[in-house]
Amino acid sequence: MNNLETITTHFCLTGQVESIQPLGNGLINDTYRITTTGDNPDYVLQRINHHIFQNVELLQSNIEAVTAHIRQKLTDAGETDIERKVLKFIPTPEGKTYWYDGESYWRVSVFIPNAKTYETVNPEFSYYAGKAFGNFQAMLADIETPLGETIPDFHNMEFRLQQLREAVAANASGRLSEVQDLVDELEKRAQVMCQAEQLYREGKLPKRICHCDTKVNNMMFDEDGNVLCVIDLDTVMPSFIFSDFGDFLRTAANTGDEDDKDLSRVGFNMDIFKAFTKGYLESAKSFLLPIEIELLPYAVALFPYMQTVRFLADYINGDTYYKTQYPEHNKVRSYAQFTLLKSVEEHTKAMQDYIWSI
Ligand code: GN1
Ligand code: MG
């Protein structure tokens, strides 16, 4: 029995494990698919990155509360196919949803059958995705269990800028001079980009339970393009609704890749924006405040901005946070995200006009 197989014996799985293969391309956790024999479900095995998610107990209790709440909502609504619409975590014999092997934390969930994730989506799928994320926030609007911040200040722009400034001051990797131009560009926009924190302090902007990692590949679709469910729930926590709106468009409305070396491929796709916004507002307008709707174009700029700040800080720190495939990877990511930001900025007026028109 190999290492990974041994780990699976600490969870109450049904069926015999046939094989365990790497799955997906997340930048934080390590993910595997467990294939089992016969009619038994397959599973997803994950090593939780506990350097990043330092409080695994809190992390898992958030996820348990969220999935139980959504499951109840779906049941109450008479929903069919619940097993494909909300994640299910497998307990250990002690009744915990994670297991610590002395070095790493592991968890197992049921693999959702006949479902797909995508790295890019067309406008039709974006519309469904918008409805699904609006619905996800709506379903969690009345959750009673208080959720903790699994990564404190995760989408706090002031905090992310402070991290960048600390990275710049320390220049641990000696790489600062290569990227000084980009640091300057980011500083020029700092105050505008921190407006959400300012409005929050003034009591004008609320926090709600959000997903906080709405990359397009964190959503499962069925064969017909219907959204089944949202996955990757590690970062579900109180945040501004901008997190979910902005991060989806950062990934889905980019005409290039997140880490594109060819910057001419990178740009903001208004058709994806329109379709997603239409779907999102249909399911979220019941609870959104006017100020939240008004600031949606800001949210679209905020996420490429924040991601540039985060990738760049990691590059200057010498690649201590994100998985990288080559030495310049975080730098390439930073310039690609910044290029996206500039394209978003050119579309501010068009985004505002569209939001008023619907
Ligand atoms: C990380 O784990 P993954 O790849 O879905 C990151 C997100 C970033 C994203 C950039 C916990 O998400 O915040 O936006 O990479 N997650 C964490 O691709 O930092
Ligand atoms: Mg992911």
Q: Calculate the alpha carbon distances from 177 to 167, 181, 184, 308, 329 in Å.
A: 13, 8, 11, 17, 17
List, in order, residues 6 or more apart from 140 with CB less than 8 Å away.
66, 69, 70, 208, 209, 236
Place of tokens 């949803």: 97
Nearest CA to ligand 1 atom 7: 213
Q: Please tell me the distance from the alpha carbon of residue 325 to that of residue 261, in angstroms, as a whole number.
A: 13
Does ligand 1 come within 6 angstroms of the Cβ of 244? no
Nearest CA to ligand 1 atom 17: 28
**Which of 126, 42, 115, 59 lies closest to 85, judged by CA?**
115
Nearest CA to ligand 1 atom 18: 27
Sheet with 105-110, edge to edge strand ranges = 17-22, 30-36, 43-48, 105-110, 99-100
Does ligand 1 come within 6 angstroms of the Cβ of 23? no
Sign of CA dihedral 259, 260, 265, 266: positive
Q: How far is the CA of 28 from the centre of ligand 1 (A)?
A: 6
Residue 249, beta-bridge partner list = none
**Which of 89, 67, 62, 234 lies closest to 145, judged by CA?**
62
Q: What is the pLDDT of residue 1?
A: 66
- Buried b vs exposed e over 208-232: b needs ≥16 C-beta within 10 Å? bbbbbbbbbbbbbbeeeeebbbbbb
Tokens of 211: 């997903």
Q: How far is the CA of 230 from the centre of ligand 1 (A)?
A: 15
Tokens of 115: 């479902």
Residue 237 near residue 149 (C-beta atoms within 8 A): yes
Taking the CA of 150 as reference, the closest ligand is 1
Provide the CB-side half-sphere exposure for 187 (13 A, CA).
9
Q: How far is the CA of 121 from the centre of ligand 2 (A)?
A: 16
Does ligand 1 come within 6 angstroms of the Cβ of 292? no
Q: What is the pLDDT of residue 26?
A: 82
Q: How far is the CA of 185 from the centre of ligand 2 (A)?
A: 28
Residue 192 near residue 200 (C-beta atoms within 8 A): no
Taking the CA of 231 as reference, the closest ligand is 2
DSSP 146: P
What is the best residue among 213, 250, 310 to mutate for testing ligand 1's pocket, by most ligand atoms within 8 Å of CB?
Answer: 213
Taking the CA of 117 as reference, the closest ligand is 2
Nearest CA to ligand 1 atom 15: 27
- Strand 99-100 and strand 208-210: the pairing is unpaired
Tokens of 118: 């995508």
Nearest CA to ligand 1 atom 5: 26
Does ligand 1 come within 6 angstroms of the Cβ of 213? yes
Taking the CA of 155 as reference, the closest ligand is 1
Tens-digit pLDDT profile for the chain (358 aa)?
679 999 999 999 999 999 999 998 888 999 999 999 999 999 999 999 999 999 999 999 999 999 999 999 999 999 999 999 999 999 999 999 999 999 999 999 999 999 999 888 899 999 999 999 999 999 999 999 889 999 999 999 999 999 999 999 999 999 999 999 999 999 999 999 999 999 999 999 999 999 999 988 889 999 888 889 999 999 999 999 999 999 999 999 999 999 999 999 999 999 999 999 999 999 998 899 999 999 999 999 999 999 999 999 999 999 999 999 999 999 999 999 999 999 999 999 999 999 999 8
Q: How far is the CA of 78 from the centre of ligand 1 (A)?
A: 33
Q: Please tell me the distance from the alpha carbon of residue 104 to that of residue 287, in angstroms, as a whole number.
A: 40
Q: Calculate the alpha carbon distances from 323 to 29, 196, 250, 333 in Å.
A: 9, 29, 19, 12
Residue 108, beta-bridge partner list = 45
Residue type for position 353:
D
Does ligand 1 come within 6 angstroms of the Cβ of 258? yes
What is the best residue among 46, 150, 212, 215 to mutate for testing ligand 1's pocket, by most ligand atoms within 8 Å of CB?
Answer: 215
Q: How far is the CA of 217 from the centre of ligand 2 (A)?
A: 6
- Report the nearest atom of ligand 1 relative to the CA of 27: 4
Q: How far is CA 290 from the centre of its chain?
A: 25
Does ligand 1 come within 6 angstroms of the Cβ of 31? no
Q: How far is the CA of 304 from the centre of ligand 2 (A)?
A: 17
Q: What is the DSSP string of 234-296?
A: GG-EEE-THHHHHHHHHHHTBSS-TT-S-GGG--B-HHHHHHHHHHHHHHHTTT--HHHHHTH
The dihedral over CA atoms of 48, 54, 55, 60, expressed in degrees to the nearest 10, equals: -20
3-state secondary structure of 227: strand
Tokens of 150: 């699994």
